[in-house]
Each structure stands twice: as structure tokens, then as C-alpha cells.
């Protein structure tokens, strides 16, 4: 039924007034197949950063859902992306994770494509195909739209998708706290952590977008053994912080500093000198709210991009079946940062997050077990509980600060997870994507 374009309503699986989510969405293979179409073929998905393609003909491979793609900087300098799938027999035309090439030759029969996706040569075009193969229509399948926001490259396979700017909405404005706090923005360091977790892809996204609640329990051991990892108030002042939902399923959590002094008070000790260095520039670029009051910690962009701003960490959660996820994690630094600070950020990040991260590894089994318990017939009758603070959103966020955008709740509130699943239901219920070649 699902494949015929008749979409059952997904709203009943998400109860926003109670904050209850039907566990079926984490374990049902049919729902997962619908996600690949309604979410991963419709949304703008993060591919990488422009700093990863510094030269003409540079490329890296990535995924959009379960579809492998190649992201290239063409000979004309423009960035493009297309399916890593030969139009002949579906073989991957590129088996490298990154490199520099003008052409991609399929290892199966030798069809050769330029790095803008065009099919250039086919062995035996005359002798075997009698010049009857339409070369023009057999290029690599291009994404429908590709764009970047201050260096962050996103693409979508849906020709009907809104612009990237509209998709990110107010989140772009908040992302400036990462991307535009210093002149030159950020760059992503070479090297990607890639690893498999036997969990549904939504659990890590949910964890990163708004689960500030799990920190002290899940990560207490790291915290007390020398791996302090997040801005923390040293004294009890003002607001603890906020969960901010920027709309379209995007959100983040931030600490609140009343003044410049408190920014330094919350800073991680090893970054303190750097915080002093960068603060005046950030403050003048972004103003009081984004340049001083908010110290963002964790967040996600719908559907599967997450970040830990202060640790210099960004990641994507690639779906690999209903019960498996592949994490890709990168480290970023301000382009302006001096070498010694880059070293500190990198070491801070990798000792806490990603494959060997003392924080990360303690999250994994939580997600695995939540996934497993969604499979038992009895267990999945009971809702995933995201009710924290359901009636306690801040009515008028402008009372906190006149520049505040989006919906806001206290730091310990599951508003961001609820809005994540609300967006999930909206996409699942919505129009089918206008995907190249799709007939359903």
C-alpha cells in the first residue's frame, strides 16, 4: 500500500499534547522504507563543507539516505553532486572516499563520466551500441538542488523542495554562531570518523537536538575523570539556558550568559584564552543575543545532521536499515584560529566525541537498547515518553530577549524532540518527492 503513493496518516503516531511517540516508528520496516522516500528523498541533506573541496576536480563521496553520492568541484569551480551509480548496471563509478579526478570510469564496463556527471565515453559505442545509445540522457543522476550556507553544503533530490534558505529558516540565523562568529568562518579538518551503531537513525538525532537531561547520568563518568565537555555555569546565576526550536524540525540547546564575564566563567578551561581573543569580534559581528548571551551546546538540523558547537564537532547519521545507523563525524575550527588552538580543539573533540569519544561511547548502548525495545510486541505498545515540560514552553520568547526567534523552553525541556517528531510526521504525510526518474 505504501508504495502506491497512498500515504497513511502518521499523525496518530505522534501525540504532541502528551509528548508520546509510538515506538513502531523505530522498528517498522515499512515505515523505514517510507522514510527513505518521504524524508531522505525530500529534505536538504548535509554533504560536507566547501573547505573539503579546496581545488578544482577535488571530490569526496557521501550518502543521501542510503543512496551513495559523489560531491565534486567541477572544472569550472562549481560544486555539484550526483548518484555514485553507473547508469548502465548500477555499479559504483567511484570507490574512493575522496581524491582529485576529472573523470570517473566505471570499473564494470568502462563507461566514463566527467565530474559534472555527463557521460563522455562508452566502450564500443559504435561497434556494440551501433551509436544508438543516447549519451546525453545517461549521465550520472544529478541531485535536484545543491546549495551551501556559509560553506555548509546541502543537497536534495526533490525538485519541489523549498530553497535551502527556506528549509533552514531561522536555524540559519542561529547557525551563524558557528559559521560566522569570526571572519572567514570555519573549516573542516581532514579525516572522518565513520562507524556503525545498531540503532534507528532517529535516536541519535533526538539525543543531539534536545536531550540535555541525559548528560549528568550518561556522561557523568567522563565529566569526573578529566573530560569536561560542555559550557557549564560555575555559579548559580540567571537562566540555566534554553532549548530553542527554530522550526522545520531544527533545534538546539544553549547555556545563557548574562554578560561577558559569564561567557568566560562557562568556558572550558583549555579554551579560555581563545574565548578572550575571539569574544570582541564575535560580539561585534553577531550582537548581544547570538554574540554573548547564548553559548550553544548541542543541536540537530532535520533530518539527520547534528552538532556540538563548543567541541568543534559536526556529524551526520546515515540510515542503514530500520535498526542500523552509520555515524560520520568531523571536527571543525574557526578559520582564523592559530595552530595551537586548532590542536586543542581537535584533541578535545576526539577524546570526547566520535569513535573513541569518552562521551560518545556511553550514548551508543542507550540508542541500541531503545531500538531493541521497540521490536517486542508488548514493549512497543508503550509510548516513547517525551513529555518533559510539555505545558511549560515560554509563552513569549521576546521577553527573554527581543531578538529571540523560534519557540523556546527551559534548558530541561523536551520541546526540541517533540518538534523533531512533529516535523517527521509532517514530512511523512506530505507530498511525494519529485525525484528524477521516479514513477511512483
| Binding footprint of another protein, residue count (CB under 8 A) | 49
* 183 vs 343 by CB, closer to another protein: 343
* 14 vs 70 by CB, closer to another protein: 70
* 300 vs 358 by CB, closer to another protein: 358
Candidates 197, 263, 286, 294; binder of another protein (CB under 8 A) is 197
Using DSSP's 3-state secondary structure scheme, residue 165 falls into helix
Note whether 95 binds another protein by CB under 8 A: yes
Stretch 333-352 residues interacting with another protein (CB under 8 A)? 342-343, 346-347, 349-351
Angle ∠(67,35,298) on CA atoms, nearest 5: 90
Angle between helices 202-210 and 360-373 (to 10 degrees): 130
The C-alpha atoms of residue 204 and residue 359 are separated, in whole angstroms, by: 13
* 182 vs 346 by CB, closer to another protein: 346
Candidates 110, 123, 191, 376; binder of another protein (CB under 8 A) is 191
Cβ(25)–Cβ(31) below 8 Å: yes
Strand partners, 147: 154
Contact track, another protein, 150-189, x by CB under 8 A: ---------------------------------------x
First to last CA, the chain: 12
Candidates 360, 374, 407, 418; binder of another protein (CB under 8 A) is 360
Going by their DSSP bridges, the two strands 313-319 and 325-334 should be labelled as antiparallel
CA torsion angle 302 99 179 200 (round to 10): 20
Candidates 29, 90, 190, 379; binder of another protein (CB under 8 A) is 190
Candidates 145, 193, 290, 380; binder of another protein (CB under 8 A) is 193
Candidates 259, 356, 381, 385; binder of another protein (CB under 8 A) is 356
What are the backbone dihedrals phi and psi of residue 213, each rounded to the nearest 5 degrees, phi first? -70, -30
Note whether 376 binds another protein by CB under 8 A: no
Note whether 198 binds another protein by CB under 8 A: yes
Q: DSSP state, 393?
A: B
Note whether 97 binds another protein by CB under 8 A: yes
The C-alpha atoms of residue 402 and residue 405 are separated, in whole angstroms, by: 9
Angle between helices 202-210 and 415-429 (to 10 degrees): 140
Query: Residue 407: in which H helix or E strand, if any?
Result: strand 407-410
Shortest CB 364 distance to another protein, Å = 5
Note whether 261 binds another protein by CB under 8 A: no
The C-alpha atoms of residue 329 and residue 316 are separated, in whole angstroms, by: 7
Candidates 56, 147, 362, 434; binder of another protein (CB under 8 A) is 362
Shortest CB 98 distance to another protein, Å = 7
| Residue recorded with cell 562549481 | 78
Contact track, another protein, 212-231, x by CB under 8 A: -----xx-xxx-xxxx----
Distances (CA, A) of 57 to 74, 75, 187: 5, 6, 19
The C-alpha atoms of residue 264 and residue 399 are separated, in whole angstroms, by: 25
Of 14-22, 80-88, 99-107, 259-267, the window that binds another protein (rule: CB under 8 A) is: 99-107
Cβ(256)–Cβ(233) below 8 Å: no
Question: Which residues in 137-185 belong to E strands, given as ranges?
Answer: 145-149, 152-156
Shortest CB 335 distance to another protein, Å = 15
Cell (9 digits) for 58: 577535488
Note whether 358 binds another protein by CB under 8 A: yes
Candidates 311, 294, 290; CA nearest to 208 is: 311
Of 19-27, 34-42, 176-184, 192-200, the window that binds another protein (rule: CB under 8 A) is: 192-200
* 65 vs 406 by CB, closer to another protein: 65
Candidates 33, 259, 355, 399; binder of another protein (CB under 8 A) is 355
Shortest CB 157 distance to another protein, Å = 23
Note whether 92 binds another protein by CB under 8 A: no
What are the backbone dihedrals phi and psi of residue 272, each rounded to the nearest 5 degrees, phi first? -60, -45
* 313 vs 413 by CB, closer to another protein: 313
The C-alpha atoms of residue 305 and residue 209 are separated, in whole angstroms, by: 9
Of 23-31, 235-243, 325-333, 421-429, the window that binds another protein (rule: CB under 8 A) is: 325-333
* 95 vs 160 by CB, closer to another protein: 95
Sites of contact with another protein (CB under 8 A): 94-101, 189-198, 217-218, 220-222, 224-227, 326, 330-331, 342-343, 346-347, 349-351, 354-358, 360-362, 364-366, 368
Amino acid at each position: 500500500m505504501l508504495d502506491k503513493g497512498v500515504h497513511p496518516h502518521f499523525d496518530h503516531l505522534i501525540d504532541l499534547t502528551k509528548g508520546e511517540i509510538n515506538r513502531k516508528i523505530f522498528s517498522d520496516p515499512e515505515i523505514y522504507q517510507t522514510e527513505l522516500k518521504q524524508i531522505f528523498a525530500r529534505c536538504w541533506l548535509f554533504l560536507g563543507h566547501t573547505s573539503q573541496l579546496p581545488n578544482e576536480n577535488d571530490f569526496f563521496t557521501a550518502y543521501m539516505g542510503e543512496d551513495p553520492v559523489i560531491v565534486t568541484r567541477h572544472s569550472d569551480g562549481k560544486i555539484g553532486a550526483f548518484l555514485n551509480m553507473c547508469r548502465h548496471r548500477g555499479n559504483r563509478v567511484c570507490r574512493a572516499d575522496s581524491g582529485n579526478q576529472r573523470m570517473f570510469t566505471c570499473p564494470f564496463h568502462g563507461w566514463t563520466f566527467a565530474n559534472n556527471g555527463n557521460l563522455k565515453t562508452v566502450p564500443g559505442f559504435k561497434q556494440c551500441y551501433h551509436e544508438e545509445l543516447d549519451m546525453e540522457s545517461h549521465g550520472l543522476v544529478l541531485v535536484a538542488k545543491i546549495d551551501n550556507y556559509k560553506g555548509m553544503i546541502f543537497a536534495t533530490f526533490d525538485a519541489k523542495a523549498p530553497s535551502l534558505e527556506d528549509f533552514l529558516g531561522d536555524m540559519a540565523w542561529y547557525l551563524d554562531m558557528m559559521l560566522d562568529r569570526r571572519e572567514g568562518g570555519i573549516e573542516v579538518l581532514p579525516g572522518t570518523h565513520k562507524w556503525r551503531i545498531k540503532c534507528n537513525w532517529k535516536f541519535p538525532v533526538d539525543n543531539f537536538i534536545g536531550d540535555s537531561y541525559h548528560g549528568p547520568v550518561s556522561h557523568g563518568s567522563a565529566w569526573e575523570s578529566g573530560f569536561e565537555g560542555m559550557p557549564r555555569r560555575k555559579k548559580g546565576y540567571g537562566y540555566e539556558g534554553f532549548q530553542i526550536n527554530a522550526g522545520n524540525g531544527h533545534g538546539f540547546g544553549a547555556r545563557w550568559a548574562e554578560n561577558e564575564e559569564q561567557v568566560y566563567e562557562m568556558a572550558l578551561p583549555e579554551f579560555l584564552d581563545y574565548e578572550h581573543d575571539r569574544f570582541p569580534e564575535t560580539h561585534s559581528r553577531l550582537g548581544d543575543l547570538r554574540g554573548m548571551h547564548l553559548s550553544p551546546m548541542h543541536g540537530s538540523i532535520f533530518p539527520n545532521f547534528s552538532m556540538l558547537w563548543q567541541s568543534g564537532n559536526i556529524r551526520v547519521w546515515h540510515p542503514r536499515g530500520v535498526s542500523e545507523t552509520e555515524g560520520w563525524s568531523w571536527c571543525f575550527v574557526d578559520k582564523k584560529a592559530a595552530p595551537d588552538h586548532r590542536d586543542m580543539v581537535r584533541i578535545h573533540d576526539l577524546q570526547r566525541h566520535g569513535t573513541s569519544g569518552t562521551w560518545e561511547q556511553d550514548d551508543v548502548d542507550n540508542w541500541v537498547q531503545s531500538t531493541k525495545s521497540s521490536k517486542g510486541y508488548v514493549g512497543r505498545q508503550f509510548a516513547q515518553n517525551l513529555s518533559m515540560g510539555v505545558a511549560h514552553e515560554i509563552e513569549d520568547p521576546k521577553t527573554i530577549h527581543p531578538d529571540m526567534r523560534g519557540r523556546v523552553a527551559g534548558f530541561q525541556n523536551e520541546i526540541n524532540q517533540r518538534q523533531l517528531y512533529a516535523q517527521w510526521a509532517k514530512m511523512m504525510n506530505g507530498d511525494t518527492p519529485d525525484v528524477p526518474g521516479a514513477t511512483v
